Every structure is written in structure tokens, then in C-alpha cells.
Chain A
Amino acid sequence: MKFGVVVFPGSNCDDDMIFALRDVLGQPAVKLWHKSHDLEGCDFIVLPGGFSYGDYLRSGAIARFSPIMNEVIAHAQKGGYVMGICNGFQILTESGLLPGALLRNTNRQYICKNVYLKPVTADSLLTRGLDVHKAYQIPIAHGEGRYYAPHHLLDEIKDNDQILFKYCDQSGAVTEEANPNGAVENIAGICNARRNVFGMMPHPERACHPMLGNTDGYELLASIIIEKVLL
């Protein structure tokens, strides 16, 4: 699978993502400049974390109109894979590829720490290799990560099994105390109804190598490329 990591002005996790995909997962991965109109034959597009356009107006709101987003949206509409992490998730909600919005954390703080995530469904490219009974330790680093969707939208998301991850405690229990940012129903990551667009606030690419002191994120990213054994 060929990966393309889009670089917006203000992206700062693009190198980490390239390292995770190319050096750790051993996949072909290229950077795609936001002014380009060419996805260079990539099968899987990643919108990395950072502060695109300085988070002006709203996080992700201006990046959504970067030239390459026309191609990214067309790629997603054809069923191609797109994943947004942190600021990338914000760009995907702003562009309408994922439902809902990301609001300022309830505690008003920029939070940078390790949290635990519980996969909610194994029915997605991103979670199919994960144990839905295990808590994965993955770092977060955001000031605006409170996932929000109005009631009718939230019902739809749940009916379609679109919740990928919830914030939980070390034992895997989804509790109020384990919710770092006030996200509705502890939601940390979702996919679209067609299951080809993924968004999550936590950073698996920062937890993908023994050198980084944590390899839980590796399992998540490796999920994308494993050959699913059909029994």
C-alpha cells in the first residue's frame, strides 16, 4: 500500500508519520505538498497533526480549502482511504468527510499526555487487528479535541458502528474520569459510514517504536497493512 502524507503550512507531525509508515511499517510513503493537485498514485492519504494555518478561524477550517483537498475529497468519494490524526481529524470534520466537530477541551487546557484507548469495533481497516477488550496506551496533544456531534448525528454514528475508539482507563473501562477533553461519550476516533475515512485525536505515530518507549500505536498502524486471514 502506498501512503501519502499531506504537508500543510503548520503541519508538524508529517515527519513522525513518514517515519512510522516508511521506517517502521516498511511501506512506500511520500510527502504531498498542500498546493499540489497530484496524489502521486497513493492508495492511503494521511492528514497529519499540527497547526495548519495557525489554527486561524477554527482548527482545520482553512486547510480544508487547500488545493490538494479537492483531490483528497475526490479520492475519499471514490472509496480511497483517508486518515486524519489530531489536526488532520479536525480538517476531515471541517471538510465534511467525517461527521461532527472538534471543540475546545472542557478544562481549557492544552493536554499533552498518554491516555488509554479502547477499540469499539474491529470492523474497520484501522482496528481490525486490535483486541476490543484491551486498552491501548496512545499519547494525545491537543487543545481542541472535544468531539461533538448533535443528538441525531450521534445516533446515526452509533447505528452505523462508526465509533473506532473511546477514551478509557488502564483496565479498559470507559469512565468520565478517563475522558481527557470532555468528548461526547468519550469518543476519541471515528470513521465515515462507508468505512474508508478515519479520524482520531490521539497520535499512534508517536507510539510506534521501542525507541519511543511505547509500541501500542504500532499495533494500530499495522492493522492497516496486515493481510486479513479469512477463516
Chain B
Amino acid sequence: MKFIAEIQVMPQKEILDPQGKAVLLGLKNLGIQNVADVRIGKNIRMELDVADEAAAREEVEMTCQKLLANLIMEDYSYQIFPA
């Protein structure tokens, strides 16, 4: 079965995110005042060809932990749906 995994990798809450700070500053300069904070991460979309959803989940967990996220500085989350 084909599945799509939509993965989000974000810098951990306690880590300063200079990219997010730069965008926040840009928003303020644009005159958009009501944004309190901005944090920037990555969105990764993967296509999987596996037996079932459980296998897809296992595969995604492994790729996140081994390569897509660095668990010292980032957290990940994901959604899996049939392609």
C-alpha cells in the first residue's frame, strides 16, 4: 500500500531560533503587530510503499530518529495517510 507521511521537524522550545526571530522582526517592520512569536522548522513529505499503516509508522519513526531530526535540538511529529 502507498502512504504519504507528512513530517514536521521543529527546534525544541528552549532553543533560540534565530530564523524565527528574524521573521518576527520582519513582520513587525511590515506593521503586523499581533504576532507574539515565530518559530521555523521543516516540513518533509515522504511517499512510502509498505504493507500497512503500522509498517508506515514504524518506517517514519525510524527515519525521524536516525536522520530527519536531531533529537538533541529538534522535536518531530507526523501524520500518515493513504496516498
Name the one of A104, A105, A106, A148 contacting B72, with C-beta atoms under 8 angstroms.
Answer: A148
The stretch from A57-65, A80-88, A116-124, A160-168 touching chain B is A57-65
Beyond A101-B73, A103-B73, A108-B22, whether A57 also contacts B68 by CB under 8 A is yes
Contact string, B6-26, partner A, CB cutoff 8 A, digits 1/0? 000001000111110110000
CA distance A51 to B70 in the complex (A): 18
Contact string, A52-89, partner B, CB cutoff 8 A, digits 1/0? 00000110011001000000000000000000000000
Secondary structure class of chain A's binding surface, majority of residues: loop
List B residues 1-51 near A (Cβ within 8 Å).
11, 15-19, 21-22, 42
CA distance A105 to B70 in the complex (A): 17
Of chain A, the residue at the smallest CB distance from B72 is: A101
Beyond A61-B67, A65-B67, A103-B15, whether A150 also contacts B22 by CB under 8 A is no
A104 touches B19 (CB 8 A): yes
B18 touches A108 (CB 8 A): yes
The answer to whether the Cβ of A202 comes within 8 Å of any Cβ in the partner chain is: no
| A53 CB, nearest partner CB in chain B, Å | 12
List A residues 18-32 near B (Cβ within 8 Å).
none
A182 touches B70 (CB 8 A): no
A105 touches B18 (CB 8 A): yes
Contacts of A57 in B (CB 8 A): 42, 67-68
Beyond A57-B67, A61-B67, A65-B67, whether A106 also contacts B73 by CB under 8 A is no
Of chain A, the residue at the smallest CB distance from B44 is: A57
CA distance A44 to B15 in the complex (A): 34
| B46 CB, nearest partner CB in chain A, Å | 13
CA distance A58 to B72 in the complex (A): 12
| A21 CB, nearest partner CB in chain B, Å | 30
CA distance A106 to B21 in the complex (A): 10
Contacts of A148 in B (CB 8 A): 15, 72-73
Name the one of A61, A106, A108, A150 contacting B70, with C-beta atoms under 8 angstroms.
Answer: A61
A108 touches B72 (CB 8 A): no
Contacts of B42 in A (CB 8 A): 57
B70 touches A100 (CB 8 A): no
Contacts of B73 in A (CB 8 A): 101, 103, 148
B18 touches A107 (CB 8 A): yes
CA distance A150 to B17 in the complex (A): 15
A106 touches B18 (CB 8 A): yes
The answer to whether the Cβ of A94 comes within 8 Å of any Cβ in the partner chain is: yes
Identify 10 new A-B residue pairs, CB closer than 8 A, beyond the known A94-B70, A100-B72, A104-B17: A57-B42, A61-B67, A103-B11, A103-B15, A105-B18, A106-B18, A108-B19, A108-B22, A148-B73, A153-B72
Give the 8 A-B CB pairs with smallest separation, nearest first.
A101-B72, A108-B18, A101-B73, A104-B18, A108-B22, A101-B70, A106-B18, A58-B70
